[in-house]
């Protein structure tokens, strides 16, 4: 089976969405860019993540769709993000509670934690509402994502991206955590956001210096 390791990683990430409480049922979707040619692997539509196997994933290369199951209804959204962001290697779409509350209110999630500034690159904006699975939603999501690592979909949910599946999942987890903190902080008096200069410094330090094998 081609891309066996990548298929296993996509399945693992999809299950992690469920176990982390970022989705319920069969909602949400996961994809990863192919390492050696244009195309993606994406989760199928309406599939129980606990029953999902690597063979169930759908291989999409341009207009060619390979697999025994239908791809996620948000295929266009994933494709639009990959087209606009060559640096993105994986996309994770969740319906986590607090992030979706901000999406329902059509309010951005502010950059009030260092993790948010470092991993996401600032506040998370909300793309205007468009029906799920539509080309309009795909275009809006890619546009409002801009150069950041996450975007809210109005009255819908959250999309996190990264260089790989691990990073895309981390984006979703950090955004959900920050949304919770923002909601709690609002109840006890509010919170202060990082300035653009502070965000820039935190993001650059994270990207270029944080961790091993960096200067």
Measured from the Cβ of residue 195, the count of other Cβ atoms closer than 10 Å reads 11
This prediction's pTM: 0.95
Please tell me which residue in 16, 74, 115, 176 is annotated as part of the active site: 74
Domains of the chain by start residue, with CATH: 4-208 (3.40.225.10)
Beta bridge partners of 65: 60
At 8-33, the pLDDT tens digits run 999 999 999 999 999 999 999 999 99
Residue 214 clears pLDDT 70, i.e. is over it: no
pLDDT band at 42, cuts 50/70/90? very high
Q: Across the beta sheet with 157-162, what order do the strands follow?
A: 64-66, 58-61, 40-42, 29-33, 90-94, 157-162, 150-153, 126-127
Return d(Cα 178, Cα 142) in angstroms, integer: 22
74 is catalytic: yes
- Pairing, β 40-42 against β 90-94: unpaired
pLDDT band at 99, cuts 50/70/90? very high
Q: Spell out the residues 6+ positions from residue 11 whose beta carbon is closer than 8 angstroms to its own.
A: 52, 53, 54, 56, 57
CA dihedral for 137, 95, 179, 32, sign (positive or negative): negative
pLDDT of residue 1: 57
Secondary structure class of 117 (helix, strand, coil): helix
Task: Please compute the mean of the pLDDT values over residues 105-123 and round it to a whole number.
Answer: 98
Q: How far is CA 96 from CA 36, 54, 79, 180, in A?
A: 32, 24, 22, 10
Return d(Cα 139, Cα 81) in angstroms, integer: 8
Residue 202 clears pLDDT 60, i.e. is over it: yes
Residue 213 clears pLDDT 70, i.e. is over it: no
At 182-201, the pLDDT tens digits run 999 999 998 999 999 999 99
Return d(Cα 210, Cα 215) in angstroms, integer: 8
Q: Spell out the residues 6+ positions from residue 138 whose beta carbon is closer than 8 angstroms to its own.
A: 74, 76, 77, 79, 80
Secondary structure class of 172 (helix, strand, coil): helix
pLDDT band at 210, cuts 50/70/90? confident
At 48-95, the pLDDT tens digits run 999 999 999 999 998 899 889 999 999 999 999 999 999 999 999 999
pLDDT of residue 41: 98
Return d(Cα 126, Cα 204) in angstroms, integer: 24
Task: State both tokens at 140.
Answer: 């809006």
pLDDT band at 209, cuts 50/70/90? confident
């Amino acid at each position: 089976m081609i891309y066996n390791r990548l298929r296993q990683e996509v399945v693992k990430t999809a299950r992690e969405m469920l176990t982390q409480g970022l989705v319920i049922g069969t909602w949400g979707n996961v994809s990863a860019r192919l390492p050696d040619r244009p195309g993606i692997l994406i989760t199928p539509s309406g599939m129980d993540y606990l029953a999902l196997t690597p063979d169930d994933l759908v291989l999409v290369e341009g207009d060619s769709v390979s697999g025994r199951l239908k791809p996620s209804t948000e295929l266009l959204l994933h494709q639009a993000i990959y087209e606009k962001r060559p640096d993105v290697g994986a996309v994770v779409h969740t319906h986590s509670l607090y992030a979706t509350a901000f999406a329902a209110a059509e309010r951005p999630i502010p950059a009030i934690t260092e993790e948010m500034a470092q991993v996401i690159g600032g506040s998370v904006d909300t793309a205007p509402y468009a029906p799920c699975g539509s080309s309009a939603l795909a275009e809006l999501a890619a546009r409002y994502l801009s150069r950041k690592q996450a975007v809210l979909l109005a009255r819908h949910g959250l999309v996190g991206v990264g260089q790989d599946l691990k990073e895309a999942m981390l984006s979703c987890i950090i955004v959900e955590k920050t949304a919770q903190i923002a909601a709690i902080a609002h109840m006890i008096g509010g919170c202060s956001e990082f300035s653009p200069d502070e965000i820039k410094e935190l993001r650059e330090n994270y990207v270029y210096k944080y961790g091993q094998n960096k200067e």
